[in-house]
């Protein structure tokens, strides 16, 4: 690979991170953003607003996006973009909570996405090393 390629430079990485944050926030909106009501069971238990299938769909969709970006060697941009997108989406979605505890949930989303995205990127890089290093 040429070292002068635009997407290897800091501005190019910032563009990748911004693009991934927009895609991530869009996936949040598609899977979780429309469901805003908690479910009340017959015995009075409250759950939700998200169902398991919604969260699983978001995670699997993000897994595809993160693997795709990691295969293109945009590790820092992938971790930053995914984390920014999820954190901002969670903040926007949950900020109407009057208790203020939404900030704890948002922090958990932020730290969890950094860890999970970093782990996926590391696994992708371990499975598919760079072409120049594969024969060494």
Whole-angstrom distance, CA of residue 97 vs CA of residue 135:
54
DSSP 35-48: ----EE-TTS-EE-
Residue 46's DSSP bridge partners are 40
Whole-angstrom distance, CA of residue 75 vs CA of residue 63:
14
Residue by residue, pLDDT tens for the chain (136 residues) are 455 555 567 788 899 999 999 999 999 999 998 877 777 778 877 767 888 899 999 999 999 999 999 998 889 999 999 999 999 999 999 888 888 789 999 999 999 999 999 999 999 999 987 754 444 4
Q: Full-prediction pTM beyond 0.75?
A: yes
Tell me how long the chain is: 136
């Amino acid at each position: 690979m040429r070292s002068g390629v635009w997407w290897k430079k800091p501005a190019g990485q910032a563009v990748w991170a911004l693009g991934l944050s927009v895609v991530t926030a869009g996936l949040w909106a598609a899977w979780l953003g429309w469901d805003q009501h908690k479910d009340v069971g017959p015995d009075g238990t409250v759950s939700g607003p998200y169902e398991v299938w919604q969260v699983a769909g978001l995670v699997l969709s993000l897994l595809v996006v993160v693997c795709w970006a990691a295969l293109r060697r945009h590790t820092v941009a992938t971790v930053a973009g995914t984390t920014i997108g999820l954190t901002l989406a969670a903040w926007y979605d949950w900020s109407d909570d009057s208790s203020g505890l939404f900030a704890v949930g948002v922090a958990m989303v932020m730290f969890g996405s950094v860890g999970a995205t970093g782990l996926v990127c590391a696994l992708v890089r371990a499975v598919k090393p760079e072409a120049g290093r594969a024969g060494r």
